[in-house]
Structure 1
Amino acid sequence: MDPSAAVWLVLAVAVVAANLPYLNERLLFVGPRRAPKAAGWRLLELALMAVLTFAVGSLLEAGIGQRHAQGWEFYAAAACLFITLGFPGFVWRYLRRGRG
């Protein structure tokens, strides 16, 4: 796979994965439906999706060539980016007007 395409694929996966906890009312996406899902569940799902997105990125990097070792700084910056990508879902869930 082309490295540029792999980067765009990981970014697209990250955008979708970061917004899924806010758009879904099921526990861990497959469990029972909860009308007002607690914020703790959403944070757990967000962390789980971040780990899965990092795994997809690592697999794509290994498929392109040699996987580079990353320090804690990389994971801190990636986690901040992941949380930032989830902001539209957060706004849609908690800050939109006219919820009725």
Structure 2
Amino acid sequence: MMRVAMSQAASGLLRALVARSGAERNRILLTEWTSVDWQSLTFIGERHEGRFRIDGVDANEIVERMMTGIDDAEFQIAGHVVADIAIVEERSEPEGRILLVEALTIAE
């Protein structure tokens, strides 16, 4: 199995998103993840994009738990704040549901 190195902010965000689902980790397949450094005049952080596939008969419920209130959710990521997060794509496929999440994390 190939492991991809993730920053502390990226791995914390991934854990928080999976926790929101209320499902076991093996129910949510991370199919793609990218993180890019970001900065403004006063802040530094990262932009993240993650694509997930959720399979099974309860995929709709899992996706609903992940999506509901995500814009206003408070995430606990050590040393980082989630400044912006959104579900930018959500679709059904024969195997289950696909979600594309974009987020901006800022170092505290």
After TM superposition, is the score higher than 0.5?
Answer: no
Give the strand-richer structure, 1 or 2.
2
Larger radius of gyration: 1
| Structure-1-length-normalised TM-score | 0.31
Return the TM-score normalized by structure 2: 0.30
